[in-house]
């Protein structure tokens, strides 16, 4: 009986952790929108400076969320597998969009 409770507790914990990451991701996305919208404001505007100052955390937050998802302790991953699976995909996307933008 205690195994069932432990399994349910672990399931609840992982669900709460994913919900926490979703909330952080939504807040970071909203901060990115504010950050980009403030770039169209007048340069010396104090509102622009305020928004840009307090939304600078959004990009590091996305990096930390990605790290939290990659470093899942329940699924150990070797460095070779991570390079083959994830880094190559990221490099392909960077080269594709980099070539497109030129």
User: Residues of the chain with pLDDT > 70: what percent?
Assistant: 79
Looking at the whole model, is its pTM more than 0.75?
A: no
Main-chain phi, psi angles of 71, to 5 degrees: -95, 45
pLDDT of 89 higher than 80: yes
Do 98 and 57 lie in one domain? The reply is no
Per the structure, the count of domains in the chain is: 2
Helix (H) or strand (E) holding 45: none
Do 62 and 89 lie in one domain? The reply is no
The tens digit of pLDDT for each residue in 20-69 reads 889 999 999 999 999 888 878 777 788 888 888 899 899 899 888 888 87
Q: By residue range, what is the domain housing residue 17?
A: 2-71
Q: How far are the Cα atoms of 13, 29, 74, 75, 88 from residue 18, in angstroms, in the given order?
A: 9, 16, 14, 15, 26
């Amino acid at each position: 009986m205690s195994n069932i409770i432990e399994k349910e507790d672990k399931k609840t914990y992982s669900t709460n952790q994913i919900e926490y990451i979703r909330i952080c991701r939504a807040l970071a996305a909203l901060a990115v929108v504010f950050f980009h919208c403030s770039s169209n404001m007048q340069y010396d505007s104090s509102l622009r400076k305020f928004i840009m100052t307090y939304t600078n955390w959004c990009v590091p937050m996305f990096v930390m969320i990605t790290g939290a998802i990659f470093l899942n302790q329940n699924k150990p991953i070797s460095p070779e597998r991570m390079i083959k699976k994830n880094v190559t995909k990221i490099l392909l996307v960077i080269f594709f969009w980099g070539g497109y933008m030129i």
